Amino acid sequence: MEKLYEGKAKVLYPEGEDTLRVYFKDEATAFNAQKRGIIPGKGVVNNKVSAALFRLLEERGVKTHFVEELSEREMRVKRVRILPLEVILRYKAAGSFAKRYGLKEGTPLKAPLVEFSLKNDALGDPLICEDAVLALGLARPEALEAVKATTLRVGEILKAFFAERGLELVDFKLEFGEREGEILLADEISPDTMRLWDMATGEPMDKDRFRKDLGGVEAAYQEVLRRVLGG
């Protein structure tokens, strides 16, 4: 079937006017696609984890693009106009934040921190401040406020959910879309887009195992799925 769009980890297929089918691939990229590989079974994990988390968030009143799971690797979502922003929420310093400010990974932050990056592969998704988002007309002020408030709410819900499953949510990335004047949480929420540390061992259980060549990547993804579904 004709593709609407193929990204690094997902393929979008058009359905009707209102919905899309998302297919989750096993391909993995890191560092703006300079590093590439395959994580066997990743597509299944990311589809199932995303579906479970979108359902949880919907139950708690967060509006998302999720409609239903279609198969092991596919979900149906509402069509939205994606805002060209990556919204990152951090609880502890890690990854690009730790590097930028010369901090040890795991340094706690005094308060949850929301950061924005411009979604632009050619520019390497540069960090962008809220005033620049508004000055460039990338989002209306009300939309930006809604995105920020929703991100903090999503963080509260997910942090508690993962803590009950022995996983510490360190940071995560969200994307939002607009549809009929409404802001909906879109894209995916998976071990590709979150940092999750095992509370017992401190071990990363997410894409950092791939980024840093730590081994056990496939097993970590399967374990996250097991804990998410295990309840």
- Residues near ligand C5P (CB under 6 A): 86, 88, 94-97, 125, 171-173, 193-195, 207
135-148 b/e (C-beta count within 10 Å ≥ 16 → b): eeebbeeebbebbe
Smallest separation (angstroms) from ligand C5P to the CB of 94? 6
Spatial separation of the C-alpha atoms in residues 170 and 160, rounded to whole Å: 12
125 vs 203, beta carbon nearer ligand C5P: 125
Least Cβ distance, residue 7 to ligand C5P (angstroms): 11
133/194 with CB nearer ligand C5P: 194
The least CB distance from residue 143 to ligand C5P, in Å, is 20
Asked if 175 and 33 touch (Cβ cutoff 8 Å), the reply is: no
- The residue to which tokens 């005094």 are assigned: 110
State whether residue 13 is helix, strand or coil.
strand
Please answer whether residues 93 and 70 qualify as being in contact, where contact means their C-beta atoms are separated by less than 8 angstroms: no
Residue 161 or 172 with smaller CB distance to ligand C5P: 172
Q: Give min distance, CB of 32 to ligand C5P, in A.
A: 8
